[in-house]
């Protein structure tokens, strides 16, 4: 069992699903208006923190796709709250997310299913409290529901 001292230095990586607003700007090049397609889709949100609850702010994030797990699919950085959001493509399988900072690191995993686009089925999270686990599940469910709520909205804008 990890000692309290070392356990306190261990980073925690929580992987959750959420609904993200996906904005696509499109419209006629010389028209009288501009259109914005607004699509609700699912994304994966990383909540990286130490088990002192201190966020892993500005930590290095590397995402690995299921069919090429040794090669980084995307690299980035958490924000000041230790969060990072990405939207997997249509490849089903286990996506892996690595977060590193100052000699500490952790892996998180998200299984993305092929049915109905994507389904977040599980995640490996280190040492989450029960309430945090419940929150994670709720977010995943919300994401699944949100997939059906695709909508399109055209917004007219004046072009100078």
Partner 1 sequence: MTSSLHLPIAAYAAALALTAGAGSAAEGELAVFANGEALAKEGFTAPELTRDGWELRFDRVLVTVEDIAALQTDPPYDAEDGGEPKAAVTVALDTGGPVTIDLTDTDDDGRVPIGSTTAPEGHYNAVAWSVVPAKAGDWTGQSMVLVGTATKDGKALPFTLTSKDTHDYVCGEYVGDERKGFVTAGGAADLELTFHLDHVFGRADKGADDPMNQGALGFDAFASGGEQAIELAGLHIGHVGEGHCAVTFR
Residues contributing to the site for partner 1 (CB under 8 A):
1-10, 12, 51-52, 64, 69-70, 96, 98, 100, 103-107, 109, 122, 124-127
Least gap, CB of 159 to partner 1 (angstroms): 48
- Cα 104 from chain centroid (whole Å): 20
DSSP per-residue codes, 66-81: TTSTTSEEEEEE--TT
Least gap, CB of 147 to partner 1 (angstroms): 24
Alpha-carbon gap, residue 46 to 118, rounded angstroms: 17
Least gap, CB of 7 to partner 1 (angstroms): 7
Going by the DSSP 8-state scheme, the letter that residue 148 receives in this structure is T
The residue (of 20 and 84) whose beta carbon lies closer to partner 1 is: 84
The residue (of 28 and 113) whose beta carbon lies closer to partner 1 is: 113
Q: Are strands 93-101 and 72-77 parallel, antiparallel or unpaired?
A: unpaired
């Amino acid at each position: 069992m990890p000692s309290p001292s070392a356990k306190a230095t261990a980073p925690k990586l929580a992987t959750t699903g959420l609904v993200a607003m996906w904005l696509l700007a499109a419209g006629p090049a010389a028209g009288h208006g501009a259109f914005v397609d607004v699509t609700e889709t699912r994304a994966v949100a990383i909540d990286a923190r130490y088990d002192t609850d201190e966020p892993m702010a500005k930590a290095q994030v590397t995402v690995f796709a299921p069919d090429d797990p040794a090669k980084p699919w995307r690299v980035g950085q958490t924000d000041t709250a230790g969060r990072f959001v990405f939207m997997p493509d249509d490849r089903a399988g286990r996506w892996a997310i690595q977060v590193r900072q100052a000699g500490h690191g952790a892996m998180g995993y998200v299984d993305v299913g092929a049915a109905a686009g994507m389904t977040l089925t599980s995640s490996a999270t280190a040492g989450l409290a029960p309430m945090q686990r419940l929150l994670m599940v709720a977010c995943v469910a919300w994401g699944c529901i949100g997939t059906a709520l695709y909508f399109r909205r055209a917004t007219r804008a004046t072009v100078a």
